Amino acid sequence: MKYIKSKLSHQLLSNIIIDFSIILISVGIILPNTMLPIYEKNLYNYLKQPLDFLDEDIIDNSISSEIGYIYVYNDVLSYSDNFNELVKNGKVSDFLSLIKGTYGNFYYRGQKYYYYTTMNDSIQRVAFTNNSYIIRCKKDSWSHIFPIIFLTLIIVSFILISWSSVVVKKIEKLKNKIDHIDDDTYNHTIEDSADDEIRSLELAIEDMRISLKNQEEYRNQMYQNISHDFKTPLTVIESYIEAVEDGVEDSNNALKIIKEQTIKLENKVHSLLYLNKLDYFKDLKALELKEVDIEEIINTSVEKFKYRNTNINFVIQFSNHTKFLGTVDSWETIIDNLLNNAVRYAEKEIKITVKKNQITVYNDGPNIDNDLIEGIFVPFRKGVKGEFGLGLSIVKKTLTMMKCDIVIKNHNKKGVSFVIYKK
Protein backbone atom coordinates (compact mmCIF):
# COMPACT_ATOMS: atom_id res chain seq x y z
CA MET A 1 0.00 0.00 0.00
CA LYS A 2 2.95 2.31 0.72
CA TYR A 3 4.00 1.79 -2.88
CA ILE A 4 0.53 2.74 -4.13
CA LYS A 5 0.43 5.77 -1.89
CA SER A 6 3.88 6.89 -3.06
CA LYS A 7 2.95 6.30 -6.69
CA LEU A 8 -0.23 8.34 -6.38
CA SER A 9 1.66 11.18 -4.67
CA HIS A 10 4.32 11.22 -7.37
CA GLN A 11 1.69 11.25 -10.07
CA LEU A 12 -0.08 14.15 -8.42
CA LEU A 13 3.18 16.08 -7.99
CA SER A 14 4.04 15.48 -11.64
CA ASN A 15 0.63 16.72 -12.70
CA ILE A 16 1.08 19.86 -10.60
CA ILE A 17 4.48 20.56 -12.16
CA ILE A 18 3.08 20.04 -15.66
CA ASP A 19 0.10 22.29 -14.93
CA PHE A 20 2.45 24.88 -13.44
CA SER A 21 4.62 24.87 -16.56
CA ILE A 22 1.64 25.14 -18.88
CA ILE A 23 0.26 28.10 -16.95
CA LEU A 24 3.63 29.85 -16.90
CA ILE A 25 4.03 29.38 -20.64
CA SER A 26 0.49 30.60 -21.21
CA VAL A 27 1.01 33.66 -19.06
CA GLY A 28 4.48 34.38 -20.37
CA ILE A 29 3.68 34.05 -24.05
CA ILE A 30 0.00 33.94 -24.79
CA LEU A 31 -1.23 36.62 -22.38
CA PRO A 32 1.29 39.34 -23.32
CA ASN A 33 0.65 38.72 -27.00
CA THR A 34 -3.07 38.88 -26.38
CA MET A 35 -2.61 42.30 -24.76
CA LEU A 36 -0.48 43.59 -27.68
CA PRO A 37 -3.32 45.72 -29.19
CA ILE A 38 -3.68 47.53 -25.84
CA TYR A 39 0.05 48.19 -25.65
CA GLU A 40 0.09 49.52 -29.20
CA LYS A 41 -2.92 51.79 -28.59
CA ASN A 42 -1.21 53.30 -25.57
CA LEU A 43 1.97 53.75 -27.57
CA TYR A 44 0.20 55.62 -30.38
CA ASN A 45 -1.37 57.97 -27.82
CA TYR A 46 2.06 58.47 -26.28
CA LEU A 47 3.53 59.36 -29.68
CA LYS A 48 0.67 61.70 -30.55
CA GLN A 49 0.79 63.97 -27.49
CA PRO A 50 3.91 66.05 -28.24
CA LEU A 51 3.19 66.50 -31.97
CA ASP A 52 0.86 69.49 -31.49
CA PHE A 53 3.70 71.45 -29.86
CA LEU A 54 6.51 70.25 -32.10
CA ASP A 55 8.25 72.85 -34.31
CA GLU A 56 11.58 73.20 -36.01
CA ASP A 57 13.16 75.11 -33.18
CA ILE A 58 12.61 72.55 -30.42
CA ILE A 59 12.92 69.33 -32.44
CA ASP A 60 16.43 68.72 -31.14
CA ASN A 61 15.17 68.73 -27.54
CA SER A 62 13.62 65.29 -27.57
CA ILE A 63 11.15 64.56 -24.84
CA SER A 64 12.41 60.99 -24.55
CA SER A 65 15.50 59.22 -25.78
CA GLU A 66 13.21 56.40 -26.99
CA ILE A 67 11.17 58.69 -29.23
CA GLY A 68 12.50 60.31 -32.41
CA TYR A 69 10.95 63.13 -34.42
CA ILE A 70 10.87 64.20 -38.04
CA TYR A 71 9.77 67.68 -39.13
CA VAL A 72 9.02 68.36 -42.80
CA TYR A 73 8.27 71.84 -44.16
CA ASN A 74 8.45 72.73 -47.86
CA ASP A 75 10.33 69.49 -48.50
CA VAL A 76 12.96 70.43 -45.98
CA LEU A 77 13.67 67.62 -43.51
CA SER A 78 14.59 68.12 -39.90
CA TYR A 79 14.96 65.31 -37.39
CA SER A 80 15.96 64.75 -33.81
CA ASP A 81 19.50 63.97 -32.76
CA ASN A 82 18.61 60.44 -31.68
CA PHE A 83 17.40 59.41 -35.15
CA ASN A 84 20.62 57.63 -36.06
CA GLU A 85 20.62 55.83 -32.70
CA LEU A 86 17.04 54.62 -33.12
CA VAL A 87 17.25 53.80 -36.83
CA LYS A 88 20.82 52.50 -36.85
CA ASN A 89 22.20 55.02 -39.39
CA GLY A 90 19.30 54.65 -41.79
CA LYS A 91 18.26 57.33 -44.29
CA VAL A 92 15.54 59.72 -43.18
CA SER A 93 14.02 59.83 -46.65
CA ASP A 94 13.81 56.03 -46.87
CA PHE A 95 12.35 55.87 -43.40
CA LEU A 96 9.81 58.57 -44.17
CA SER A 97 8.69 56.83 -47.38
CA LEU A 98 7.49 53.84 -45.34
CA ILE A 99 5.01 55.91 -43.36
CA LYS A 100 1.46 55.26 -44.63
CA GLY A 101 -1.57 56.72 -42.90
CA THR A 102 -1.89 58.61 -39.65
CA TYR A 103 -0.35 55.85 -37.48
CA GLY A 104 0.92 52.34 -37.81
CA ASN A 105 4.06 50.25 -37.83
CA PHE A 106 6.55 48.84 -40.31
CA TYR A 107 9.85 47.04 -40.54
CA TYR A 108 12.99 48.89 -41.59
CA ARG A 109 16.50 47.39 -41.66
CA GLY A 110 15.23 44.36 -39.65
CA GLN A 111 13.71 46.45 -36.89
CA LYS A 112 10.04 47.15 -36.15
CA TYR A 113 8.99 50.78 -35.75
CA TYR A 114 5.84 52.53 -34.59
CA TYR A 115 4.86 56.00 -35.73
CA TYR A 116 2.24 58.72 -35.47
CA THR A 117 2.12 61.62 -38.00
CA THR A 118 0.12 64.81 -38.51
CA MET A 119 -0.18 67.17 -41.49
CA ASN A 120 -1.10 70.84 -40.86
CA ASP A 121 -0.39 73.86 -43.09
CA SER A 122 2.00 71.88 -45.30
CA ILE A 123 3.89 70.79 -42.22
CA GLN A 124 4.31 67.12 -41.49
CA ARG A 125 5.24 66.12 -37.99
CA VAL A 126 6.29 62.54 -37.21
CA ALA A 127 6.96 60.87 -33.89
CA PHE A 128 8.41 57.35 -33.94
CA THR A 129 10.06 54.72 -31.80
CA ASN A 130 11.34 51.18 -32.14
CA ASN A 131 9.95 48.04 -30.55
CA SER A 132 11.64 48.59 -27.18
CA TYR A 133 8.50 50.16 -25.68
CA ILE A 134 6.35 47.13 -26.51
CA ILE A 135 9.01 44.76 -25.20
CA ARG A 136 9.20 46.70 -21.95
CA CYS A 137 5.39 46.58 -21.60
CA LYS A 138 5.44 42.80 -21.99
CA LYS A 139 8.17 42.50 -19.38
CA ASP A 140 6.29 44.77 -17.01
CA SER A 141 3.13 42.70 -17.45
CA TRP A 142 5.05 39.54 -16.73
CA SER A 143 6.67 41.02 -13.63
CA HIS A 144 3.26 42.05 -12.25
CA ILE A 145 1.36 38.92 -13.18
CA PHE A 146 3.98 36.33 -12.24
CA PRO A 147 3.79 36.83 -8.43
CA ILE A 148 0.02 36.52 -8.54
CA ILE A 149 0.14 33.38 -10.65
CA PHE A 150 2.91 31.89 -8.55
CA LEU A 151 1.04 32.52 -5.31
CA THR A 152 -2.14 31.09 -6.81
CA LEU A 153 -0.32 27.97 -7.93
CA ILE A 154 1.19 27.48 -4.49
CA ILE A 155 -2.26 27.70 -2.89
CA VAL A 156 -3.79 25.37 -5.49
CA SER A 157 -0.91 22.91 -5.12
CA PHE A 158 -1.36 22.88 -1.33
CA ILE A 159 -5.07 22.21 -1.74
CA LEU A 160 -4.45 19.44 -4.27
CA ILE A 161 -1.79 17.78 -2.13
CA SER A 162 -4.06 17.93 0.92
CA TRP A 163 -6.94 16.51 -1.10
CA SER A 164 -4.76 13.77 -2.53
CA SER A 165 -3.67 12.77 0.94
CA VAL A 166 -7.31 12.32 1.94
CA VAL A 167 -8.08 10.37 -1.24
CA VAL A 168 -5.05 8.11 -0.76
CA LYS A 169 -6.17 7.34 2.79
CA LYS A 170 -9.66 6.46 1.52
CA ILE A 171 -8.16 4.24 -1.16
CA GLU A 172 -5.91 2.59 1.39
CA LYS A 173 -8.92 1.88 3.61
CA LEU A 174 -10.88 0.53 0.65
CA LYS A 175 -7.96 -1.69 -0.38
CA ASN A 176 -7.83 -3.21 3.10
CA LYS A 177 -11.52 -4.05 2.75
CA ILE A 178 -10.93 -5.59 -0.69
CA ASP A 179 -8.04 -7.68 0.68
CA HIS A 180 -10.53 -9.33 3.04
CA ILE A 181 -13.48 -9.50 0.66
CA ASP A 182 -13.20 -13.27 0.27
CA ASP A 183 -12.83 -13.91 4.00
CA ASP A 184 -15.61 -16.00 5.43
CA THR A 185 -17.01 -16.81 1.96
CA TYR A 186 -17.56 -13.23 0.78
CA ASN A 187 -19.47 -12.23 3.91
CA HIS A 188 -17.19 -9.28 4.68
CA THR A 189 -19.36 -6.28 3.81
CA ILE A 190 -17.91 -3.24 2.04
CA GLU A 191 -19.39 -0.44 4.13
CA ASP A 192 -20.27 2.94 2.66
CA SER A 193 -17.77 5.25 4.31
CA ALA A 194 -17.22 7.91 1.67
CA ASP A 195 -19.46 10.56 0.21
CA ASP A 196 -17.68 11.24 -3.08
CA GLU A 197 -16.32 9.32 -6.08
CA ILE A 198 -14.87 6.75 -3.69
CA ARG A 199 -18.38 5.95 -2.54
CA SER A 200 -19.34 5.00 -6.10
CA LEU A 201 -16.33 2.69 -6.21
CA GLU A 202 -17.30 1.19 -2.85
CA LEU A 203 -20.84 0.54 -4.04
CA ALA A 204 -19.55 -1.12 -7.22
CA ILE A 205 -17.22 -3.35 -5.20
CA GLU A 206 -20.02 -4.18 -2.78
CA ASP A 207 -22.23 -5.20 -5.72
CA MET A 208 -19.39 -7.38 -6.97
CA ARG A 209 -19.01 -8.94 -3.51
CA ILE A 210 -22.71 -9.78 -3.35
CA SER A 211 -22.55 -11.24 -6.86
CA LEU A 212 -19.52 -13.37 -5.94
CA LYS A 213 -21.24 -14.48 -2.75
CA ASN A 214 -24.35 -15.49 -4.67
CA GLN A 215 -22.24 -17.33 -7.23
CA GLU A 216 -20.37 -19.13 -4.47
CA GLU A 217 -23.62 -20.14 -2.77
CA TYR A 218 -25.10 -21.26 -6.09
CA ARG A 219 -21.94 -23.21 -6.94
CA ASN A 220 -21.97 -24.99 -3.58
CA GLN A 221 -25.66 -25.77 -3.92
CA MET A 222 -25.17 -27.03 -7.46
CA TYR A 223 -22.32 -29.29 -6.36
CA GLN A 224 -24.54 -30.72 -3.65
CA ASN A 225 -27.37 -31.26 -6.11
CA ILE A 226 -25.07 -32.88 -8.65
CA SER A 227 -23.66 -35.16 -5.98
CA HIS A 228 -27.16 -36.13 -4.88
CA ASP A 229 -28.41 -36.60 -8.44
CA PHE A 230 -25.49 -38.85 -9.39
CA LYS A 231 -25.38 -40.69 -6.11
CA THR A 232 -28.94 -41.99 -6.36
CA PRO A 233 -28.56 -44.17 -9.51
CA LEU A 234 -25.10 -45.28 -8.36
CA THR A 235 -26.54 -46.38 -5.03
CA VAL A 236 -29.31 -48.32 -6.81
CA ILE A 237 -26.77 -50.02 -9.09
CA GLU A 238 -24.53 -50.90 -6.15
CA SER A 239 -27.47 -52.28 -4.16
CA TYR A 240 -28.66 -54.58 -6.92
CA ILE A 241 -25.15 -55.82 -7.58
CA GLU A 242 -24.80 -56.75 -3.88
CA ALA A 243 -28.26 -58.33 -3.92
CA VAL A 244 -27.30 -60.55 -6.86
CA GLU A 245 -24.02 -61.45 -5.20
CA ASP A 246 -25.91 -62.39 -1.99
CA GLY A 247 -28.40 -64.41 -4.01
CA VAL A 248 -31.44 -62.44 -2.82
CA GLU A 249 -32.29 -60.90 -6.18
CA ASP A 250 -32.99 -62.39 -9.57
CA SER A 251 -30.11 -61.55 -11.87
CA ASN A 252 -32.30 -60.84 -14.90
CA ASN A 253 -34.45 -58.37 -12.99
CA ALA A 254 -31.36 -56.84 -11.43
CA LEU A 255 -29.67 -56.41 -14.81
CA LYS A 256 -32.79 -54.73 -16.14
CA ILE A 257 -32.83 -52.19 -13.29
CA ILE A 258 -29.05 -51.70 -13.47
CA LYS A 259 -29.36 -51.01 -17.20
CA GLU A 260 -32.16 -48.48 -16.59
CA GLN A 261 -30.10 -46.69 -13.92
CA THR A 262 -27.01 -46.77 -16.13
CA ILE A 263 -28.94 -45.16 -18.98
CA LYS A 264 -30.30 -42.57 -16.56
CA LEU A 265 -26.79 -41.85 -15.29
CA GLU A 266 -25.46 -41.70 -18.84
CA ASN A 267 -28.15 -39.17 -19.77
CA LYS A 268 -27.26 -37.04 -16.75
CA VAL A 269 -23.57 -37.05 -17.68
CA HIS A 270 -24.42 -36.20 -21.27
CA SER A 271 -26.64 -33.33 -20.16
CA LEU A 272 -23.98 -32.00 -17.79
CA LEU A 273 -21.31 -32.08 -20.50
CA TYR A 274 -23.68 -30.43 -22.98
CA LEU A 275 -24.50 -27.67 -20.49
CA ASN A 276 -20.82 -27.13 -19.82
CA LYS A 277 -20.16 -26.92 -23.56
CA LEU A 278 -22.79 -24.21 -23.92
CA ASP A 279 -20.85 -22.01 -21.52
CA TYR A 280 -18.04 -21.82 -24.06
CA PHE A 281 -20.33 -20.52 -26.79
CA LYS A 282 -20.67 -16.86 -25.95
CA ASP A 283 -22.19 -15.69 -29.21
CA LEU A 284 -23.59 -16.84 -32.54
CA LYS A 285 -20.18 -16.83 -34.19
CA ALA A 286 -19.41 -20.13 -32.49
CA LEU A 287 -22.26 -21.85 -34.31
CA GLU A 288 -22.91 -22.41 -37.97
CA LEU A 289 -26.52 -21.27 -38.14
CA LYS A 290 -28.90 -22.12 -40.92
CA GLU A 291 -32.61 -22.52 -41.50
CA VAL A 292 -33.94 -25.65 -39.83
CA ASP A 293 -37.10 -27.56 -40.74
CA ILE A 294 -38.69 -27.53 -37.30
CA GLU A 295 -41.66 -29.69 -38.40
CA GLU A 296 -39.43 -32.63 -39.23
CA ILE A 297 -37.56 -32.33 -35.94
CA ILE A 298 -40.82 -32.20 -33.93
CA ASN A 299 -42.35 -35.15 -35.75
CA THR A 300 -39.21 -37.26 -35.20
CA SER A 301 -39.07 -36.36 -31.51
CA VAL A 302 -42.78 -37.07 -30.95
CA GLU A 303 -42.40 -40.54 -32.45
CA LYS A 304 -39.69 -41.31 -29.86
CA PHE A 305 -41.80 -40.15 -26.90
CA LYS A 306 -45.06 -41.84 -27.98
CA TYR A 307 -43.76 -45.17 -26.75
CA ARG A 308 -42.79 -43.92 -23.29
CA ASN A 309 -46.39 -43.45 -22.22
CA THR A 310 -49.08 -44.85 -24.44
CA ASN A 311 -51.75 -43.21 -22.33
CA ILE A 312 -50.76 -39.72 -23.55
CA ASN A 313 -52.27 -38.33 -26.72
CA PHE A 314 -49.92 -36.20 -28.82
CA VAL A 315 -51.47 -33.39 -30.89
CA ILE A 316 -49.37 -31.47 -33.43
CA GLN A 317 -50.54 -28.34 -35.25
CA PHE A 318 -48.49 -26.53 -37.93
CA SER A 319 -49.79 -23.27 -39.36
CA ASN A 320 -47.40 -23.51 -42.31
CA HIS A 321 -44.07 -24.95 -43.25
CA THR A 322 -42.07 -23.13 -40.63
CA LYS A 323 -38.31 -22.74 -40.47
CA PHE A 324 -36.27 -21.48 -37.55
CA LEU A 325 -32.68 -20.31 -37.49
CA GLY A 326 -30.19 -22.58 -35.69
CA THR A 327 -28.69 -26.03 -36.01
CA VAL A 328 -30.44 -29.39 -36.28
CA ASP A 329 -28.66 -30.77 -33.20
CA SER A 330 -29.56 -27.74 -31.09
CA TRP A 331 -33.25 -27.82 -32.01
CA GLU A 332 -33.38 -31.60 -31.48
CA THR A 333 -31.97 -31.05 -27.99
CA ILE A 334 -34.52 -28.31 -27.27
CA ILE A 335 -37.56 -30.26 -28.44
CA ASP A 336 -36.42 -33.52 -26.77
CA ASN A 337 -35.94 -31.81 -23.41
CA LEU A 338 -39.29 -30.00 -23.60
CA LEU A 339 -41.13 -33.21 -24.53
CA ASN A 340 -39.28 -35.13 -21.83
CA ASN A 341 -40.49 -32.59 -19.29
CA ALA A 342 -44.02 -32.64 -20.72
CA VAL A 343 -44.25 -36.46 -20.62
CA ARG A 344 -43.13 -36.42 -16.98
CA TYR A 345 -46.07 -34.23 -15.88
CA ALA A 346 -48.82 -34.74 -18.51
CA GLU A 347 -51.94 -36.67 -17.59
CA LYS A 348 -53.63 -37.31 -20.92
CA GLU A 349 -52.50 -34.82 -23.56
CA ILE A 350 -49.45 -33.06 -24.97
CA LYS A 351 -50.10 -30.47 -27.65
CA ILE A 352 -47.44 -28.87 -29.86
CA THR A 353 -48.38 -25.80 -31.87
CA VAL A 354 -46.05 -24.13 -34.37
CA LYS A 355 -46.74 -20.70 -35.78
CA LYS A 356 -44.59 -18.34 -37.82
CA ASN A 357 -42.41 -17.10 -34.98
CA GLN A 358 -43.57 -19.23 -32.07
CA ILE A 359 -43.49 -22.83 -30.80
CA THR A 360 -45.78 -23.88 -27.93
CA VAL A 361 -45.45 -27.15 -26.01
CA TYR A 362 -48.52 -27.74 -23.79
CA ASN A 363 -49.20 -30.49 -21.27
CA ASP A 364 -52.37 -30.95 -19.21
CA GLY A 365 -50.51 -31.61 -15.98
CA PRO A 366 -50.67 -29.53 -12.79
CA ASN A 367 -49.84 -25.82 -12.74
CA ILE A 368 -46.34 -24.79 -11.70
CA ASP A 369 -46.13 -22.80 -8.48
CA ASN A 370 -45.18 -19.18 -9.07
CA ASP A 371 -42.32 -19.61 -6.62
CA LEU A 372 -40.85 -22.33 -8.83
CA ILE A 373 -41.33 -20.62 -12.21
CA GLU A 374 -38.62 -18.02 -11.58
CA GLY A 375 -35.90 -20.61 -11.05
CA ILE A 376 -37.16 -23.41 -13.25
CA PHE A 377 -34.44 -22.80 -15.88
CA VAL A 378 -31.66 -22.80 -13.29
CA PRO A 379 -29.48 -25.95 -13.38
CA PHE A 380 -30.28 -28.54 -10.70
CA ARG A 381 -33.13 -26.49 -9.27
CA LYS A 382 -35.83 -28.68 -7.70
CA GLY A 383 -38.87 -29.25 -9.86
CA VAL A 384 -42.53 -29.85 -9.04
CA LYS A 385 -41.88 -33.46 -8.06
CA GLY A 386 -38.76 -32.58 -6.06
CA GLU A 387 -36.42 -33.70 -8.81
CA PHE A 388 -33.20 -32.03 -9.89
CA GLY A 389 -32.55 -31.55 -13.56
CA LEU A 390 -30.63 -29.88 -16.36
CA GLY A 391 -33.03 -30.24 -19.27
CA LEU A 392 -34.83 -26.90 -19.02
CA SER A 393 -31.58 -25.08 -18.26
CA ILE A 394 -30.14 -26.52 -21.47
CA VAL A 395 -33.25 -25.39 -23.35
CA LYS A 396 -32.91 -21.84 -22.04
CA LYS A 397 -29.21 -21.46 -22.80
CA THR A 398 -29.49 -23.02 -26.26
CA LEU A 399 -32.40 -20.77 -27.22
CA THR A 400 -30.51 -17.69 -26.02
CA MET A 401 -27.64 -18.56 -28.35
CA MET A 402 -30.09 -18.66 -31.26
CA LYS A 403 -31.70 -15.33 -30.33
CA CYS A 404 -34.85 -16.93 -29.04
CA ASP A 405 -36.46 -16.98 -25.63
CA ILE A 406 -38.93 -19.11 -23.69
CA VAL A 407 -41.67 -18.31 -21.19
CA ILE A 408 -43.98 -20.44 -19.03
CA LYS A 409 -47.76 -19.94 -18.92
CA ASN A 410 -50.09 -21.61 -16.43
CA HIS A 411 -53.61 -22.30 -17.66
CA ASN A 412 -56.80 -22.19 -15.59
CA LYS A 413 -56.64 -24.75 -12.74
CA LYS A 414 -54.30 -27.08 -14.65
CA GLY A 415 -52.17 -27.25 -17.76
CA VAL A 416 -48.81 -25.60 -18.54
CA SER A 417 -47.44 -24.19 -21.79
CA PHE A 418 -43.77 -23.61 -22.65
CA VAL A 419 -43.72 -20.93 -25.36
CA ILE A 420 -40.66 -20.37 -27.58
CA TYR A 421 -40.54 -17.11 -29.51
CA LYS A 422 -38.05 -15.23 -31.66
CA LYS A 423 -36.54 -12.10 -30.11
Residue pLDDT, tens place only, 86-112:
888 788 889 999 999 899 999 998 889
Interstrand relation of 111-120 and 123-130 (parallel, antiparallel or unpaired): antiparallel
User: Spelled out in words, what is the top-level CATH class assigned to the domain 284-422?
Assistant: alpha beta
Task: Determine what percent of the chain is predicted with pLDDT higher than 90.
Answer: 13
**Does 318 have pLDDT greater than 70?**
yes
Q: Rounded CA gap, 182 and 216, in Å?
A: 10
pLDDT score for 107? 92
Residue 290 banded pLDDT, cuts 50, 70, 90? confident
- How many Cβ atoms are within 10 Å of 345's Cβ, its own excluded? 16
Mean pLDDT computed over 255-263 = 83
Q: How many residues does the chain have?
A: 423
Task: Determine what percent of the chain is predicted with pLDDT higher than 70.
Answer: 69
Q: Rounded CA gap, 267 and 100, in Å?
A: 102
Q: Are 380 and 390 in contact (CB under 8 A)?
A: yes
Domain boundaries, the chain: 2-34+138-177, 36-130, 197-278, 284-422
pLDDT score for 196? 58
* Interval 133-172: pLDDT, tens: 888 877 776 666 667 777 777 777 777 677 767 766 777 7
Kindly report the pTM of this predicted structure.
0.48
CA atoms within 13 A on the CB side of 15: 11
Q: Which of 104-108, 116-120, 261-265 has the lowest mean pLDDT?
A: 261-265
Q: Rounded CA gap, 86 and 68, in Å?
A: 7
Residue 283 banded pLDDT, cuts 50, 70, 90? very low
Closest CA to 298 of 257, 228, 352: 352
The rounded mean pLDDT for the chain is: 77
Interstrand relation of 313-318 and 349-354 (parallel, antiparallel or unpaired): parallel
Closest CA to 189 of 208, 171, 217: 208
Residue type, 209: R
pLDDT score for 5? 46
User: Three-state SS for 133?
Assistant: helix
pLDDT score for 287? 60
* Interval 350-402: pLDDT, tens: 999 998 788 999 999 999 888 788 778 877 665 555 454 678 888 888 888 88
Hey, which CATH number is domain 36-130, 3.40.190, 3.20.190, 3.30.160, 3.30.450? 3.30.450
- CA 157-158-161 angle, to 5 degrees, is 80
Say whether domain 197-278 belongs to CATH 1.10.150.300.
no
Mean pLDDT computed over 54-61 = 61
